[in-house]
């Protein structure tokens, strides 16, 4: 490796030939020299960083900024093609909160997010602990659970439409035969149940993902910690509270944050199961934003709703980044 020292020094910004009386003779071929000048130069590092940054800015940053900008403008079908539209300040936000359906929809969103995450996490954790016992075939079965996660939301929605169907749905059948209900529940069209119908489907959709991540977290806990705790006198319940849960803290934080992001992105299930209805009883912000923009053609209102969501997702992202940074291992 004749060129190794010079390439290392030039990467650190130190001139290649340090001693003037003893110049380093460059014995490399011209192509190789060109190549290494590209690879070792400062500029190459910047190009490497610039590519993904540019991509992110173009594909995510600009639309995001455009969306924020639109939320402060008056937008109609005729000004849709222009960038500089009449600036209206916080009018869109004031209008939004003056609408009677806004607060119920925000409340729906909170219920949807909380219910989905709680269900996905608790069932996912339960399954992860169950498969952690490692009975024969455990890893196979655990892999099969991922089937639900790889299914497109619209397909899941279609399946749940059958399950939830008021007349012939299997859910009603089970509940009725089990003596839980006496008459059929029209899950998708009853305002009291429509939101929970979507939550149910979303829990089914997201549980497998939670389980896999939690399984990974569980398997990363060294077995001898449990043995040490056992010898220290801890029973199974105490071991769970004092070893498993604290050791899983960063995994749990990350999963909750990811769950928050994923549930706020959940659109397909609403489109497939209830379309936000009846009468907005199962509407949530992400579906509502789309409805405002592409059904009512009120693009400013749609953008305003999106900006509100950005704030929530940002908070979730901060939680996610922080919890993955504080990994406690070893």
Q: Which residues sit at the interface with other proteins, rule CB under 8 A?
A: 222, 224-225, 227-235, 238, 242-243, 246-247, 249, 328-330
Backbone angles phi, psi at 138, to 5 degrees: -60, -45
List CB contacts of 315: < 8 A, sequence separation 6 or more.
Answer: none
Q: Least CB distance from residue 242 to other proteins, whole Å?
A: 7
CB of 246 to other proteins, least distance (A): 4
Give min distance, CB of 231 to other proteins, in A.
Answer: 5
Nearer residue to other proteins within complex by CB, 87 or 241 = 241
- Cβ closest to other proteins, residue 231 vs residue 311: 231
In the bound state with other proteins, the residue whose beta carbon lies nearer, of 81 and 233, is: 233
Nearer to other proteins, 21 or 233 (CB): 233
Residues 189/278, Cβ–Cβ less than 8 Å: yes
Rounded to a whole number of angstroms, the minimum distance from the CB of residue 122 to other proteins is 22
Rounded CA gap, 202 and 113, in Å?
A: 10
Cβ 129 to other proteins shortest distance, Å: 19
CA 138 – CA 323 distance, rounded (Å): 29
CA dist 4 and 315 (Å) reads 46
Distance of alpha carbon 18 from alpha carbon 9, whole angstroms: 10
Comparing CB distances to other proteins, the nearer of 104 and 246 is 246
CA 273 to chain centre: 21
Compute the distance between CA of residue 237 and CA of residue 248 in angstroms, rounded to an integer. 15
């Amino acid at each position: 490796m004749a060129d190794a020292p010079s390439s290392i020094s030039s990467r650190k910004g130190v001139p290649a030939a340090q001693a003037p009386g003893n110049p380093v003779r460059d014995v490399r071929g011209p192509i190789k020299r060109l190549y290494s000048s590209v690879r070792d130069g400062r500029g190459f590092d910047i190009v490497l960083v610039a590519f993904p940054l540019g991509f992110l800015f173009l594909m995510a940053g600009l639309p995001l900024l455009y969306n924020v900008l639109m939320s402060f403008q008056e937008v109609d079908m005729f000004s849709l093609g222009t960038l500089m539209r009449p600036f209206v300040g916080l009018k869109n936000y004031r209008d939004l909160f003056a609408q009677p359906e806004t607060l119920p929809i925000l409340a729906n969103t909170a219920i949807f997010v909380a219910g989905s995450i709680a269900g996905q996490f608790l069932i996912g954790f339960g399954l992860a602990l169950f498969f952690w016992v490692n009975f024969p075939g455990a890893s196979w079965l655990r892999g099969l659970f991922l089937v639900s996660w790889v299914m497109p939301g619209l397909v899941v929605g279609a399946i749940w439409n059958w399950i939830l169907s008021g007349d012939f749905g299997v859910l009603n059948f089970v509940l009725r035969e089990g003596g839980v209900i006496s008459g059929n529940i029209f899950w998708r069209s009853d305002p009291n149940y429509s939101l929970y119908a979507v939550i149910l489907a979303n829990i089914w959709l997201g549980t497998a993902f939670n389980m896999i991540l939690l399984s990974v977290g569980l398997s990363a806990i060294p077995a001898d910690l449990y043995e040490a705790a056992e010898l220290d006198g801890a029973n199974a319940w105490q071991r769970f509270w004092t070893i498993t849960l604290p050791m899983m803290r960063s995994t749990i934080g990350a999963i909750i944050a990811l769950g928050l992001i994923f549930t706020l992105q959940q659109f397909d299930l609403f489109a497939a199961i209830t379309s936000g209805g009846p009468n907005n009883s199962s509407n949530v912000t992400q579906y509502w934003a789309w409805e405002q923009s592409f059904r009512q053609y009120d693009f400013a209102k749609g953008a305003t709703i999106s900006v509100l969501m950005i704030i929530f997702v940002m908070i979730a992202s901060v939680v996610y980044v922080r919890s993955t940074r504080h990994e406690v291992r070893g």
